[in-house]
Amino acid sequence: AAQLPFANRKLVFVLGGPGSGKGTQCAELVKRLGWAHLSTGDLLREEVARGSELGKRLEADMKEGKMVSMEVTMDLLRAAMEARPDAPGFLIDGFPRTMEQAEMFERTLGTCTFVLFFSAAHDVLTTRLLKRGETSGRADDNAESIAKRLRTFDDMSMPVVQFFKKDGRVREVVSEGSVEDITNRTMACFDAV
């Protein structure tokens, strides 16, 4: 088979429920590892901010806590990866959220080195997101959207975590407690990489 475009790069998928600290911890990891951090949520919000017709559709799905179109997500992600030819590794945050996305990525871009999985109880996640909602201005940080996002995560994304777990490729971090403690536990996952 022809070599995949990112075959020789470290590719870590960062998964966890909404509010599990993916973005927060990735910001720390970037400082320590010098890898590129690409969040599909951020890439989609940038598209929304452009005010395009596509952006309007994306915003409506995100507010409903739904998955947005896989094609759009894959295109944005691939372009963002191609824009970082210098990066020794990628933290791919909030992706893949469905088995379909996981299969498409590994078939066309590269092989996931491991999944970094942040686990936390639903009430912890909800409390964090409601707090962020006081200032974030995000259309999806309200009680109704949060409940829908949690349900979507359990239904669509936990099967992805289970799939990689069976394959021995999940490193789990309990994401309750202080940001600093969680960072220390997270860094330990990168010891052998």
Tokens 């791919």 identify what position? Answer: 92
Interface with ligand B4P, residue 19, by CB under 6 A: yes
Cβ at position 136, least distance to ligand B4P in Å = 7
Integer Cα distance of 19 and 146 in angstroms = 9
Site string (131-170) toward ligand B4P, x via CB under 6 A: -x-------x--------x---------------------
Here the tokens at position 72 are 């759009």
Nearest residue (CB) to ligand B4P, 86 versus 174: 174
Interface with ligand B4P, residue 186, by CB under 6 A: no
Integer Cα distance of 154 and 119 in angstroms = 12
Integer Cα distance of 151 and 192 in angstroms = 34
Whole-angstrom CA distances from 10 to 32, 101, 109, 162 are 15, 18, 12, 21
Cβ at position 56, least distance to ligand B4P in Å = 14
- Which residues form the interface with ligand B4P (CB under 6 A)? 18-24, 39-41, 44, 61-62, 65-68, 73, 94-95, 97, 101, 128-129, 132, 140, 149, 178-179, 182
